[in-house]
Chain A
Amino acid sequence: DTAVSQTPKYLVTQMGNDKSIKCEQNLGHDTMYWYKQDSKKFLKIMFSYNNKELIINETVPNRFSPKSPDKAHLNLHINSLELGDSAVYFCASSLTGSHEKLFFGSGTQLSVL
């Protein structure tokens, strides 16, 4: 069983569209994250949720809206996609948010044309 699974693996879409990426973890963790890895391979945190509550919200455009229906799921919805949104998005989870190791999903490669 995959610990942190995200779908889809690849997402190709046009500018201006709205898309969602789903993430689920079966580890019983309390905290989930979204990270973005750009073309230069820098990995930056976007959001962190602890027990469905937003903990970290880095400087991310309002077009990005995370949704956590329960603590095992953290979905990322992106409105009005722009070329600069093209990147690999990684979901991750940890037991708590405090110095615990992160378990990452395999990533969603988003290409905006």
Chain B
Amino acid sequence: DAKTTQPNSMESNEEEPVHLPCNHSTISGTDYIHWYRQLPSQGPEYVIHGLTSNVNNRMASLAIAEDRKSSTLILHRATLRDAAVYYCILSGNYGGSQGNLIFGKGTKLSVKP
């Protein structure tokens, strides 16, 4: 299985940008990089995903290293509502089906007022 490595926890101040790193040195050429987040007592929520190029959406930006062995999720201005566990996941052909997402431990982001 392709695996990802993330810090267990990070802290941020409200209104400041947050950079959440993820290492995936064993990524294969067809693996997509996905980010999800899980707020307390809720189901995971899609944040962003990409393959090679950097991606932007209304929630965040995804910066992918040129060799694709690492990526960074960027929250441009953290709010208290962004406090959650952030999962960096690779999707590939696991379990006979592309798109099977294997969640790791994630990074618990705390946001201070």
Contact = CB atoms under 8 A, between A and B. Distances in A.
Contacts of B100: 45, 48, 56, 97
Nearest to A44: B103
Contacts of A105: 43
A65 to B, nearest CB: 18
B43 A92 contact: yes
Given A42-B103, A45-B102, A101-B49, A90 B43 contact: yes
Interface residues of B, number: 25
Interface in A11-56: 31, 35, 41-45, 48, 50, 55-56
A107 B49 contact: no
Interface residues of A, number: 28
B78 interface: no
Contacts of B98: 97-99
Nearest to A45: B100
Interface string B71-97: 000000000000001010001000111
B34 interface: yes
A1 interface: no
Interface in A80-113: 90, 92, 94, 96-107
A48 B97 contact: yes
B85 A102 contact: no
A35 B102 CA distance: 10
10 contacts: A31-B99, A41-B85, A45-B102, A58-B95, A96-B99, A101-B46, A102-B36, A102-B44, A106-B43, A107-B42
Interface of A: 4, 31, 35, 41-45, 48, 50, 55-56, 58, 90, 92, 94, 96-107
